[in-house]
Amino acid sequence: MSNEKILIVGAGRMAQAIIKGLKKADFTNVMVANKGNQERLEEVESRFNVDSTTQWQEHVSDQDIVILAMPPEAHEQVLSELAPVMTNQLIITVAAGIDVSYLEKRLPEGTAVAWVMPNTAAAKGESITLFTPGKNVSDEQEYFIEKILFSIGKFKKLNEQQLHALTPITGSAPAFIYRMALTLINKAKETGVSEVVAKQLVAQMIRGSAEMLNSELKCTADLIDEVASPGGVTAAALSVFDQYQFDQMMNDVLTACYERAKQ
Ligand SMILES: NC(=O)C1=CN([C@@H]2O[C@H](COP(=O)(O)OP(=O)(O)OC[C@H]3O[C@@H](n4cnc5c(N)ncnc54)[C@H](O)[C@@H]3O)[C@@H](O)[C@H]2O)C=CC1
Ligand SMILES: O=C(O)[C@@H]1CCC=N1
């Protein structure tokens, strides 16, 4: 059981994925707030058995940790409301582009802050979460951060610049994988298999590929080679990737992500 008191501001998709992990890991003191959308707040409260509030500012002084899970654009306003009511809490944001320098600049001198970049697999305890602690984070607070991140999957401590550059690759890229999965599922359905079966086939193919990717014995290029029998069907397919300049497209995809987060 974990007794740290955690307030989560924002009750959207990422917040819910984190709450799911926290509850599974037996964090007992979780409170959640949202702007507007009272219905969503009530649903989160009953679904995850957490407390909720519409006036989070009144509860900050009772907390150990505040997790900001609202859109990046809402941070300016929320931080200006948070600063005057803080009493030594650790402040964590999960927002794309909102780094520790941004938080430290807007919160009282000496505030412990961290920037965390999870992904939605947090809901299954399978996120790969990147994090950067700010300069005022104590060893005990860093332990709290790791405990929270452990509840939603694996994690890695990196610097601020690395988090900016890797947000597209670990935060957003699940959507790229699902986009490809959607095409494969739809194609599989054309053969007459049901949606459920098509999803199972594709999910297991991705799970197996992820396991292979994790193997330390082979480099990724070798894995591609291994599938592509010389002169075979996969080689024919991969030449279409080249024809459509897949690598260039992926570079553009990642750059678009990075640039948007910087805005
Ligand atoms: N969805 C994802 O895969 C990931 C999202 N993130 C970050 O998580 C944050 C939330 O994203 P999502 O959950 O996808 O969006 P969402 O739209 O599902 O949820 C955002 C929630 O914040 C609430 N909100 C907006 N302004 C607020 C305010 N001033 N005070 C309190 N609540 C407020 C909204 O009502 C909404 O419930 C973003 O900063 C995003 O960059 C980070 C990593 C992955
Ligand atoms: O799309 C977004 O802005 C968020 C950040 C990373 C993944 N989802």
- Report the separation in Å between the CA atom of 15 and the middle of ligand 1, taken as the mean of its atom positions: 7
pLDDT tens digits, 223-260? 999 999 999 999 999 999 999 999 999 999 999 999 99
Average pLDDT over the chain reads 95
CA-CA distance, 114 to 97, in Å (whole number)?
Answer: 12
What is the per-residue pLDDT across 47-75, written as a single tens digit (0 to 9) for each? 999 999 999 999 999 999 999 999 999 99
Residue type, 157: K
Question: Does CATH place domain 2-158 in 3.30.450.40?
Answer: no
Instruction: With a cut of 80, say whether residue 263 has pLDDT above it.
Output: no
Burial (CB count within 10 angstroms: exposed 0-12, middle 13-18, buried 19+), residue 66: buried
Domain with CATH 3.40.50.720 in the chain: 2-158
Name the residue of 73, 99, 127, 172 to mutate for ligand 2: max ligand atoms within 8 A of Cβ: 172
CA dihedral 244, 248, 253, 256 (to 10 degrees): -130
For residue range 82-136, what is the model confidence (pLDDT) as tens digits?
999 999 999 999 999 999 999 999 999 999 999 999 999 998 999 999 999 999 9
Q: What's the CATH superfamily of 167-262?
A: ProC C-terminal domain-like (1.10.3730.10)
Q: Where in the chain is the domain with CATH 1.10.3730.10?
A: 167-262
Phi/psi of residue 230, each to 5°? Answer: -55, 125
- For the stretch 205-225, pLDDT in tens is 999 999 999 987 889 999 999
- The pick from 7, 20, 34 for probing ligand 1's pocket by mutation, whose C-beta has the most ligand atoms within 8 angstroms, reads 34
Q: Whose CA is nearest to atom 7 of ligand 1?
A: 95
Atom of ligand 1 nearest to the CA of 71: 39
Q: What is the pLDDT of residue 36?
A: 84
Residue 38 has pLDDT above 90, yes or no: no
How would you classify the pairing of strands 127-133 and 112-117? antiparallel
Looking at all shown ligands, the one closest to residue 10's CA atom is 1
> In this structure, are residues 31 and 52 in contact, taking their beta carbons and an 8 Å threshold?
yes
Angle (CA) 97-103-108 rounded to 5° is 175
Beta strands (DSSP E) in the chain are 2-9, 27-33, 51-53, 65-68, 90-93, 112-117, 127-133, 153-157
